[in-house]
């Protein structure tokens, strides 16, 4: 189910442009337009749900298998030493559609606690380069 006017539903349905790195029957994942660090990906369930408690129990495992695969791909594709994986439920949730942030991390990168600085890509070529590298790292089948 999609909801009219939901930005993430529109991206998942291919109705709104985004730098998509994963698109399957369970989830869509795409680069955040206001990344904490370059390579920051949002993973959303294909069907519209607002929060984690709203996600049907039988969909939790398949959805988080995609989050896990994206976390691996962000490390490989962005050349990161690790990732920060997080979600908000209602409070601080900028779009009312469940989404998981997968943020590339490196030692001394400046991220402290829950202060999230934002960076900008140098243009369309750079953002597509990050998306392509992460997509390439996702070429392996998702394990369940």
Question: Which residues lie closer than 8 Å to 38 by C-beta, 6 or more apart?
Answer: 78, 104, 119, 121, 126, 130
> Going residue by residue through the chain (144 aa), what tens digit of pLDDT does each one get?
678 899 999 999 999 999 999 999 999 999 999 999 999 999 999 999 999 999 999 999 999 999 999 999 999 999 999 999 999 999 888 899 999 999 999 999 888 766 667 788 999 999 999 999 998 988 766 666
| Pair type for strands 27-31 and 41-45 | antiparallel
Instruction: Give pLDDT, residue 129.
Output: 93
- Residue 79, judged by CB atoms within 10 A of its CB (0-12, 13-18, 19+), counts as exposed
Enumerate the domain spans of the chain. 7-112
Instruction: Give pLDDT, residue 92.
Output: 87
Instruction: Give pLDDT, residue 139.
Output: 73
**CATH architecture of the domain formed by 7-112:** 2-Layer Sandwich (3.30)
Instruction: Give pLDDT, residue 118.
Output: 77
Residues with catalytic function: 99
């Amino acid at each position: 189910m999609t909801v009219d006017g939901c930005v993430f539903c529109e991206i998942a349905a291919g109705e709104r442009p985004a730098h998509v790195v994963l698109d399957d029957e369970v989830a869509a994942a795409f680069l955040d337009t206001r990344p904490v660090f370059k390579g920051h990906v949002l993973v959303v369930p294909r069907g519209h749900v607002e929060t984690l408690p709203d996600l049907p129990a039988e969909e939790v495992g398949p959805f988080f298998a995609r989050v896990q695969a994206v976390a691996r791909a962000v490390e490989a594709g962005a050349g990161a030493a690790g990732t920060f994986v997080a979600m908000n439920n209602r409070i601080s949730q900028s779009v009312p559609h469940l989404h998981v942030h997968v943020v590339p991390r490196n030692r001394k990168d400046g991220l402290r606690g829950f202060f999230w600085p934002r960076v900008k890509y140098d243009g369309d070529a750079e953002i597509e380069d990050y998306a392509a590298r992460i997509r390439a790292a996702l070429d392996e089948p998702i394990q369940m």
